[in-house]
Amino acid sequence: MSPMPLSPSKIVCVGRNYARHAAELGNEVPSEPLIFLKPPSALIRGGEGIVLPPGVGRVDFEGEIGVVVGRRAHNVSEGDAWSHVEALLPLNDVTARDLQKKDGQWTRAKGFDTFCPVGEPVPLAEVDMDALGVTTRVNGNLRQQASAGDMVFGIPVLLAHISRIMTLEPGDLIATGTPDGVGPLAAGDEVEVSVGGVGAVRNPVREGSR
């Protein structure tokens, strides 16, 4: 079966949404959701290669719970937020860490082609919400593991907050933040991000060319 088509108009990501991840990078937990964008051109699916761009330094994995918007969301309430969600999926917010520090803003570090692997969306009604969490393994070794309950801002809070800033259209993706344990990728690695009650996305890592 071929993967469900994904064509988001935007990918809205949330930074520092797990307290221990904020701490491991020397950052404070934000008082409100910290958001940034990844371009849709960064999307790849399971089995496709994450390409390490030449000359960018360290490139990290960041396993996350991804949210697929199903219904247009503009200024929605937290209580109504779930009704705007179509599906959940595993997502890897690949990050050029040295460029993130160098630039001070994150567009370049987060925006390279292949820097947003995503798995197969699972309709919300089929998700075991009690099992919802994120786990990342590199070459089979556990690197990240956290429950959705460990988020600083839960999914309804994030969707409501983002929808007060920009209208979310059907098909848009929200990346809800990564837990602690992020680390570098090297050519030849295989990284797997799994979301409890949803599924997994696995991708090989390779060097890019100039």
Question: 134 in the Ramachandran plot: left (φ > 0), alpha (ψ -120 to 50) or beta?
Answer: beta
pLDDT band at 210 (very low <50, low <70, confident <90, very high): low
Query: Using one digit for the tens of pLDDT, what is the confidence trace for 157-194?
Result: 999 999 999 999 999 999 999 999 999 999 999 999 99
- Which residue in this structure is represented by tokens 């779930």? 82
What is the C-alpha separation between 151 and 165, in angstroms, rounded?
21
Domain 15-61+79-180 maps to which CATH number in 3.90.850.10, 3.40.640.10, 3.40.50.620, 3.40.1160.10? Answer: 3.90.850.10
Neighbouring residues of 75: CB distance < 8 A, sequence distance ≥ 6: 163, 164
Kindly report the average pLDDT of the chain as a whole number. Answer: 95
| The CA-based dihedral angle spanning residues 167, 158, 123, 4, taken in that order and rounded to the nearest 10 degrees | 60
CA-CA-CA-CA torsion sign (128, 90, 178, 192): positive
Report the candidate in 159, 153, 196 with the shortest Cα–Cα distance to residue 19.
153
pLDDT > 70: percent of the chain:
96
Rounded mean pLDDT, 125-129: 96
pLDDT band at 22 (very low <50, low <70, confident <90, very high): low
Using CA atoms, how far residue 11 sits from 35, 75, 210, in Å, is 10, 18, 26
Rounded mean pLDDT, 11-40: 87
- Per-residue pLDDT at 1: 59
Query: Using one digit for the tens of pLDDT, what is the confidence trace for 67-108?
Result: 999 999 999 999 999 999 999 999 999 999 999 999 999 999
Residue ranges of the domains in the chain? Answer: 15-61+79-180
